[in-house]
Structure 1
């Protein structure tokens, strides 16, 4: 540090330097804040889940900021006043024991008893009741011991109170208890009695337990008659029966509470019933508590606030049992409370009805009560429910406004950095924290009372009421979420609030203590008060645990003697302690207030609620809160101690809620989304008016944007369910009709852009829009296909012969290639096998026709004529002879539609030829498919072995196996592309030996029937082509190369190409028509030009001759082309389909 006179600044400049420094410091602080916010923004951009807010549905690590300490009660209650230490230690221990019993009852017994018999009962078999009761028996035995312990604690509390409030004349007086009022001890005694009342109500109104108990007892009695049969000793059975009798007497008769208050409370030190001081104190407590309950009903900072009425009623009964006096005025005050609180929900759906309880346990007063007064209560309860049901919507809206306003205030308050908090900000936060708990308690009370009253009174609930109640459930969970989202800020603020409240309480205590110290008078009471204040200060100086608060309140009970505190100080101190009690334990208080496990017993409202959410589409995101409420039911189920019952309960509840969600939301959403997409895709058709400005539009996007709903140990993603439904629908419908692939592809794309639905591609092979029949369908119905379709040899296409539709279906190589890609190359061999079976049947008919005597004799006669007149005919088969054969067949008879036997034989050959054309198309389609697949192989001449390469690189066995399969696929593709399969050769080789067998000699003259067949075919072909220009196109056709294909195939099977060529048939036909045309030309030259009719006739004749000659030429070309396919020992390679 530099010192010296040279650095002596003017003192007036010191303030300026300080201000400048503060400015720079603030600027630097702002820079750091901006930099931190930028860093946080980058982190949130990189990681979607990062942020200050905590999500309740994904909360793997919970933050518990309830205070804890290792200090024991003896260390905590340590003053110089030993008597005071002893008294407070005893009462604190007893009160802590009551809290422990409360916790044990809640965790171990309430849910175990309430959920008994719940779950899926549809599969219950005979003997299940006995098994269920048998599994409950150990817990009933534990419950019996628990009740005994409660009774003992109750005796201890009463006897300790009697010892404190003993008469000054008695030698056993512990301390001077004048003006000391242990309200907290009486409160805890009421809590203890409340446990017994709750157990009474649960067991007394539990039908399954009562029914199963009767069945179980009967079973035990039946075992008693023959114990040896069941392997049970008679002595043990007698002991077991005694245990059952004790359990029934103590637990199932509804007398748990009655037995506890009727037990003897007197001890050796004195009789409690004769302790007037205790009786006065007890009565004073009841009177003050009833007044507080009546006047402070609005200050609900505890979800169990309403249970105070039950506790007071139980304590009133105990007071009557102890001292035998029943103050009628006090009883009237208790009785009149029903006007404000008609019933109290003890737990779940268990209700406490005041008049039933009071009249049952106070028979003396019951005699004085008339029936009218009791009936008034029932009527009042119904009126209360009716009024609440009418006002539910209004109440719901009111609570919504209050809660939303509170949430906004919470958001604004918690935005402020905790380091910059001022005292006013701290007071405001404390007020908001308490206000949230108060709202939650009020809403929870209304929900439980209204829902349980509807069930109790068997009153139906309107849909409007259901929606309003569900809206309040959403509010309840929304309040809880508000705390949870800001738990970091809340937990930090809570400590500051506790410190502030403790400071204010300490200030009041310090003021009172200062006044006592200044008072120089000495007395034991003076000393007790001072010691109590010291102890209260000590309790406030530590963490705000429940034990410290209990010690604090008990210490203040002993300190407030002789008006230690002024009236205003006492009211202020009580308010501070009440706030401190809630703030220190705010997590537990909030969890109790927002506990929606009662919803399990009213889950029938879920379908109505879910249906409303889907139909209204408003506030859809609130369904997340409803599922948070349903998760509370799961927490309650987890407390069921029977493992088998717990698993059945959870499984049944999960299935039920999931079914409701699927039926009311997911399924309608799936169907509506699909319909929306389908109508959008087909909007070019004439559909109903879908203008959104006229007919409106259903916007399902809010439901689809919902986050996944967490339920049990899984998430329900509604958007994922819709995506899966669309994937399944698109896949199944595309599989059924592959030609619709484009439509479903458009729907898939539209779903992505319109609703953000990402569906998985089905990867099914697409088909062209003019798909026609599938190869698989043709294969299964090949007999129908060859008769309904006509083959074109040159274009290699099948055309539908006739159809009722506007257009005819066609099948070409692309269609077949697509089908082969769809079903795999294995279908090619299967198709040839089916074709073989078809040809076998057709050739049987073919053989029968050729064996016919009329046909056989005519063919032999024509063959003999040709051989005998070969020279005169110039080696050419006579056209006239063939024409005579064609016409002569008609004399044998015709069918109903005018077809001769030769017409039918021609059709048979055409069908055979169509089948062969189909086989040719299958082979071409296969090559087309292979060529498309093989294009990805760079060099067919130099194919590397991937398996060897993987082995050289030392890759894993899995990779080598994959490489080996890839080599097999490439090898298969290469072989199929290079060689193909000679299906024609196979079909020739399989039938040729049979056709050429000497047993089938009747087939050897087939080549002689070809000329008449060609004449028959040409006449039929010309008739079909002429129908093309007519209006009625039935029977019209422009190609039928199946006939040429069939003739070529059969001639090959019979090896009669040479014999047929020896007929020089087509040369004979050409000569015949040339001769006719020459004669017509001569006739034209001779005929008179003036005779128009003769000229027209000759022109038509010439045109007809040209037509016939052209048809014969086309047939000749087709037959010549078809014969190329059946050349000896080889098949002509097909033209590459890509060049067609």
Structure 2
């Protein structure tokens, strides 16, 4: 390039760069402003657009805006301690990728060649580029299509996977394994075809290279020093992929198990194909395919079978080609010499696998081409000792000694020293310890330093004012970031997989360091995204500058070759070099695409073989460095995404449990929690390629939720609750028994955790620590306050403290205040009414229920005040609820009563007694005859009682009559509870109504406000008027409730009376005849209970049971038998009988003064009769009081003899 061309070239370049820089800077400002405004206001809109440069030769990027996925949470772009840069939460994103090349390889290589060039170079270059591109394509297809599906097969089957979730395993379903492997067979057949395609391709590749590097002359191009590193490297990477595929299949235990079961099933079906309605021909073809899959794939010998197939097909064409063997040796030496730099410095982590695969491949193809043992010792062994192992994919690891031993199958002595190769494993333990110890180095400081320096150089000048030194600094920092990410990623995977492979437990500190490495990876990815716009613009300038530099040196190299003196020995090599440099220059003059970059790399390899023709060594150093830098910058985004992908955590998810616990112990690090969920998002993206993606995702997320809940959320909620309880009791001035010093134990700053912004693993279900704690507190406070309502004030205080300290908005429980003297809650009693009436006895006069027995040293009571407080809690409407439940209870009890009276033995005895009573009452009413009638009544009642007792007793010694009495007592207790509720409601309403001066004349506050407003309109606001209306409404509601005159007893009577008085229930008409016997049973029961109470017996504490007279009074009213019972004059006649008997006993005492024993017996008899008389009188009074509640307006007239009796 002459001086004029250089000036013109530089002028056009400067003009284009200035114009393009102004264009990008304007759009950069617009993008930053749009993104900032949208993110700061939490906009959920989507922005779509397209930014593309004007046509030019130096554009090496496709810059476009893509609509990012939105989240419901607001994301701020300002720097904060909790901010996480997540590219999926932003509406606009710039992508930096190589453009799609429309030209084919022929157009890129077949260009006008220089006058002194070799036209055959273009043809050779086209072949080399094509086969290299095909090797790269096959490798990418293999990784993308087959490796991931096989790697993830069986998720959900393996019970030893470490999953702690409760999600059901797929293995629980019978035959699911057969179905899964059947679904995988099409993919395995494709893999079989893929391997065959690779075999044919590599055979073709070897033939092409053997034709190029043939031993006999003439040669198409000069081959003496020709080194095609890129061509051999792509073949080596393809061979390495086959080795990795073998390792994955060999470790797939579930796949192997399912495969064996499926083969056995097919054999069974073939033996009886008719039963399965299957054609035998199809089964034969299927079995052949399965045999092929088993032999070439699932045997995990893909690489060895591949090498054998290549040898069988084309071995005779190239096995004795010493030139090609020499090229393989040179490539292995070059690859091994760069192994330490590429692998140890984390540039090419799969390079050792490719190197070992290529060595085995070359050793088998060229058995006589080179001394394999010497080459192995010299080239590989020392380097492999320093590498020890390679983390390939998933949780799998590649071990050199295992690979070489499995490949050679007994022929290892010809290829390498077995002792030497086995010695590699001896130092693996120390290698792992060295790797673990290196984790202590603070990578966080390196990241922080790099991020600050990157931000400084990106924003220190406007884009239009940058110079070459600034571009050099930016380029250095960009590459430094990718190297740091690659270093962290490789160390993380290598350490974890080595621990899993060697079966060594991982210490807690090591787990924490490893997870911190993951955080740094996501932070690096976030930093690149944060400065995405600036990086895209700066990278354009850097690439264009590097391309310009490379073109200048290419022109210089061409000029130096042309100026060389004429020498026939170097004419061919010089012509080849000129042609190759021309192709390289042509590729760099266009926009960098994947195809151009590949052609340029192969052309550079070719040109570098002829660098001795260049005048100085500067060009030979600058051109390779420039091409490497262009490759790094063009694939920057792809490299960052690859290195920062943390999907390996899916296979080692258990470490997250330890890390969640570590984050909670150190709340100052809690801001890193959203970074972990970005890692989980990578795992979910990996699982989308699983054959069981839905189940695998469900199990994985169940594990993560379990770890987060147990190790972080539950502890957080409990500690916040404990802290609030302690704060709510600080006013008590109580000294702690063992005071905790914050200087010794530290203080957890839980406020930092509350400030963590919402995060998510799928941008749909957001996780908010603040909301989780609020929900837990609201639920806990409600549950505890509903159990102990008297603690409502404590929880109200804790609710205020939660807002003051943690800014937690805990919902109000809306439970009413509770008092300590409320006793049993009315709602609890009504729900368990049958149990209540059985455990409590009723006192009619004091309106109190007393517990019968209690395991405690006290008895519970329920009185009017208790129910008034309970109604204050639940409202007066509980009275209606009580009536409804009581009605249901009475319906069941009256049904039992009807069944008892329907019994023939009971019914016949009652009919006989009633008929006898009526006949006896027709006698004259003389005093003696009255005593005779009274004796008859008492004797018949006693005889009835004893006769019923003969029908049988319960285990507690109760006769059917006693059980019938208890049933009536339960009915009376239920009615007594209704009365108590009514009284408690009146008590409650009276407490609220005591502030109203006059119940009859209620003054309306709204009228007073209106009259006052007419006098002074400006002094009365609308709020005061609304308050007055509210007061009037409350007083009116209170007044209506207080004056409610509903007779609940009347409702319960009217509910049952029509049915019970129906002719179908005629057996109930004799109920009044059993009352005398019931009263005898009741009196004996009360006397016995009081005697036990006097003796301080713990088995019975009954001293009152007014439920019985209450129940009798209700049944007399419902059955309309009040007058019939009065006609018996039972209580007056029994009183007459008992008085006569007592007088007889007293007279006997006077007559038996001389006989002391007989006197004592008569005294006890007189005392017993007096006690019985008192009990009968108490029953009579209580029954008379109870019958007052049930009016006698509708009672039917008594018989003719009723007028001669005394009403009780």
Q: Is the 8 A contact 2:851 2:860 kept in 1?
A: no
What's the counterpart of residue 1135 of structure 1? none
Where does residue 77 of structure 1 map in the other structure?
A: 109
1:398-437 aligned at under 5 Å gives the runs: 398-416=442-460, 418-419=462-463, 422-423=466-467, 424-437=469-482
1:349 aligned residue (377, 395, 398): 395
Whole-angstrom distance in 2 between the partners of 1:367 and 1:270: 21
CA distance in structure 2 between the aligned counterparts of 1:827 and 1:298, rounded to whole angstroms:
83
Is the 2:492–2:517 Cα contact (8 Å) retained in structure 1?
A: yes
> TM-score normalised to the size of structure 1?
0.72
Residue 452 in 1 paired to residue 484 in 2?
no
Which TM-score applies when normalising by structure 2? 0.68
Distance 2:236 2:373 in 1: 18
Shift of 1:443: 1.8
Structure 1 residue aligned with 2:97, among 50, 54, 66?
Answer: 66
Alignment equivalent of 2:673, drawn from 617, 623, 628: 623
1:774 paired with 2:770, answer no
- 1:593-992 maps to which residues of 2 (within 5 A)? 593-640=643-690, 642=691, 645-674=692-721, 693=741, 700-711=750-761, 714-715=764-765, 717=767, 719=769, 720-729=771-780, 751-758=802-809, 770=822, 772-778=824-830, 780-781=832-833, 784-785=836-837, 788=840, 804-805=857-858, 809-810=862-863, 811-816=866-871, 818-819=873-874, 825-835=880-890, 915-922=974-981, 982-983=1050-1051, 985-986=1053-1054, 989=1057
Counterpart in the other structure of 1:164 = 212
Change (3 A) 1:40 1:449: closer
1:106 aligned to which of 119, 129, 143 = 143
1:195-214 equivalence runs, <5 A = 195-214=241-260
Aligned twin of 1:382: 429
CA distance in structure 1 between the partners assigned to 2:652 and 2:334 by the alignment: 37
2: distance between equivalents of 1:228 and 1:39?
A: 68
From the superposition, tell whether residues 272 and 812 of structure 1 become closer, same or farther in structure 2 (CA, over 3 Å). Answer: closer
Q: In the TM superposition, what is the alpha-carbon distance from 1:588 to its structure 2 partner?
A: 1.5
Q: Is the alpha carbon distance of 1:793 and 1:63 closer, same or farther for their aligned partners in structure 2, counting shifts above 3 Å?
A: farther
User: Any unmatched runs of 5+ in structure 2?
Assistant: 1-24, 44-73, 79-83, 114-118, 159-168, 947-961, 993-1036, 1133-1176, 1196-1208
Shift of 1:839: 7.5
2-side partners of 1:503 and 1:1005: how far apart? 121
1:282 aligns with one of 328, 342, 345:
328
Q: Is 1:88 the equivalent of 2:125?
A: yes
Is the partner of 2:392 in helix, strand or coil? Answer: strand
Could you tell me how far 1:90 is from its partner in structure 2? 1.7
DSSP-derived class of the 1:340 partner = helix
The offset of 1:144, in angstroms, is: 1.6
Task: Assess, with a 3 A threshold, how the Cα gap between structure 1 residues 180 and 1121 changes in structure 2: closer, same or farther.
Answer: same
Asked if residue 575 in structure 1 is aligned to residue 606 in structure 2, the reply is no
Q: Which residue of 2 aligns with 1:293?
A: 339
Secondary structure, counterpart of 1:710 in structure 2: coil
- Which runs of 5 or more residues in structure 1 are unaligned? 1-28, 871-876, 894-902, 934-969, 1066-1111, 1131-1140
Deviates more, 1:574-583 or 1:123-132: 123-132
Partner of 1:97: 134
CA distance in structure 2 between the partners assigned to 1:103 and 1:241 by the alignment: 30
Match of 1:1079 in 2: none
1:749 CA displacement: 5.6
Aligned to 1:313: 359
**Residue aligning to 1:19:** none
Q: 1:922 to 1:83 in 2, by over 3 A?
A: same
Deviation larger for 443-452 or 728-737: 728-737
Length, aligned pairs only: 994
Do 1:224 and 1:234's aligned partners in 2 also have CA atoms closer than 8 Å? yes
Shift of 1:482: 2.1
Once structures 1 and 2 are overlaid, which stretch shifts more, 34-43 or 153-162? 34-43
Deviation digits for residues 155-182 of structure 1 (CA, Å, limit 9, x no counterpart): 3333333333345x624x2222343322
SS at match of 1:711: coil
Which residue of structure 2 aligns with residue 49 of structure 1?
Answer: 75
- The answer to whether the 8 Å contact 1:927/1:977 transfers is no
Q: Match of 2:153?
A: 116
Paired with 2:486 and 2:811, the residues of 1 have a C-alpha distance of 48
* Whole-Å separation in 2 of the counterparts to 1:271 and 1:458: 47
Distance of aligned partners of 1:998 and 1:444 in 2 relative to their CA distance in 1, 3 Å threshold: closer
Structure 2 residue aligned with 1:546: 594
Higher relative contact order (CA 8 A, sep 6+): 2
Paired with 2:1192 and 2:765, the residues of 1 have a C-alpha distance of: 69
SS in 1 for 2:89: coil
Distance 1:467 1:733 in 2: 38
Query: Helix, strand or coil: the match of 1:812?
Result: helix
Indicate the residue corresponding to 1:1123 in structure 2.
Answer: 1188
In the alignment, the residues of structure 1 paired with residue 314 and residue 1131 of structure 2 have an alpha-carbon distance, to the nearest angstrom, of 143
Q: Distance in 2 between matches of 1:840 and 1:817?
A: 35
Deviation at 1:768, TM superposition (A): 5.5
Tell me: CA distance 1:563–1:762, structure 2 relative to 1, closer, same or farther (3 Å). farther
Report the 3-state secondary structure (helix = DSSP H, G, I; strand = E; otherwise coil) of the residue aligned with 1:277.
Answer: helix
Q: Select the residue among 303, 309, 320 that pairs with 1:257.
A: 303
Kept in 1, the 8 Å contact 2:320–2:366? The answer is no
Closer, same or farther in 2 for the Cα pair 1:303/1:501, shift >3 Å? farther
| Deviation at residue 66 of structure 1 after TM alignment | 0.2
CA offset at residue 800 of structure 1?
7.1
Structure 1 position 110, deviation (Å): 0.6
Equivalent position of 2:524 in the other structure: 479
Task: Determine if the alignment matches structure 1 residue 585 to structure 2 residue 644.
Answer: no
Measured after TM superposition, the shift of residue 434 of structure 1 is 0.9
Q: How big is the alpha-carbon RMSD for the aligned residues of Structure 1 and Structure 2?
A: 6.1
Aligned 8 A contact 1:801 1:1036 in 2:
yes
In the aligned structure 1, how far is the partner of 2:795 from the partner of 2:492?
Answer: 48
Render the CA deviation track for 1:419-473: whole Å, top value 9, x for unaligned.
Answer: 3652333322222211111112112222222222222222232333222222222
Contact 1:165–1:278 at 8 Å: present in 2 too? yes
1:895-924 Cα distance to aligned partner (Å, 9 max, x none)? xxxxxxxx9999999987654342234457
Residue pair 1:69, 1:543 contacting (<8 A) in 2 also: no
In structure 2, distance between residues paired with 1:251 and 1:1002: 93
Q: Once the two structures are superposed, what CA deviation does each residue of 1:233-282 show, in whole Å capped at 9, x if it has no partner?
A: 44444444433333333334444323444456799999434444333333
1:699, CA displacement in angstroms? 5.0
